[in-house]
Amino acid sequence: MFLLQLQQSDVKVRELETATTQLPAKLDPLRRDLAKLQGMLDIERGKLTETETWRKTQQDQLDREREALKTAQNKLQASKNSKEFGAASREVENKRKSISDRETELKKVVEASTASTAQLALRDKDVDGVRTELTNSEDAMADQLGSLRAQLAEAKVVRDEARAHVEKQWLKIYDTLSAKRGYAVAPVIKGVCQGCHMALPPQLNNILARMESIETCPRCQRLVYRKELLDPKPEPPKPGDEPKPDA
């Protein structure tokens, strides 16, 4: 029955199409993990860059303050009276305090920056590990996809050959039923349509037994056939396979 062969071919084509479509999606969790790790790494790297820029700015200011301290110390040494000495002394003290505070702050920043750099190196390693895993998985999947696509192309050839053997009027009915009900051909087992589980009229069941025409189920309109007539018959037992009588 070419309609049944066509349906079996259609099922195989759909299964292979689904597998071909869904297979790449299996790597989506790994891709999301990589994107998340990369995003976190980029944020941390951006913060480290900002910190380094701030550190350089503070270092430049510290260098200027040290130069200003030298100038204040020179003024202190060149003081001519107690008033100038007092003003220069306060200036020197203020400069020293400012330099000390800035050095303390810079030390904290350098320590934090060093720790962040070490952490970034670890995160870089993690990202490289996930990226390598994804690349290897994609390479392996490419082989699987190639095999699936080859099977799909072969299945489509078989399906097209099956369609070529079916009359156009039945192809139209078959396609309409497939689109509407999922599958168009249903077996009949013990007089019951397996598409809608309705018992067929005895006369229709007898017509199906003759296998001379294509018939439809009165309820679901699927194309029906008697399953036992198309199932392969069991091979006769080979000599020596007969059960032995009880002793």
Domain ranges for the chain: 9-163, 168-230
% the chain with pLDDT above 90: 67
> Which residue from 139, 169, 178, 140 is spatially nearest to 10, judged by alpha carbons?
178
Single pTM value for the model:
0.60
pLDDT of 48 strictly over 80: yes
pLDDT of 244 strictly over 90: no
Give the pLDDT confidence score for residue 247 in this predicted structure.
Answer: 41
Contact 34, 135 (CB under 8 A): no
Q: What is the pLDDT of residues 184-224, one digit of tens each?
A: 999 999 999 999 999 999 999 999 999 999 999 999 999 99
Q: How many residues does the chain have?
A: 247
Confidence band (pLDDT; 50, 70, 90) for 31? very high
Which residues does residue 193 pair with via DSSP β-bridges, in sequence order? 188
Task: Tell me the fold of 9-163.
Answer: Helix Hairpins (1.10.287)
Rg (CA), the chain: 42
Other Cβ atoms within 10 Å of 70 Cβ, number: 12
Confidence band (pLDDT; 50, 70, 90) for 231? confident
Other Cβ atoms within 10 Å of 121 Cβ, number: 9
Confidence band (pLDDT; 50, 70, 90) for 13? very high
Element (H, E) at 187: strand 185-189
Mean pLDDT score of the chain? 90
Query: For helices 82-164 and 28-77, what crossing angle results, to 10°?
Result: 170
Q: Retrieve residue 126's tokens.
A: 């993690």
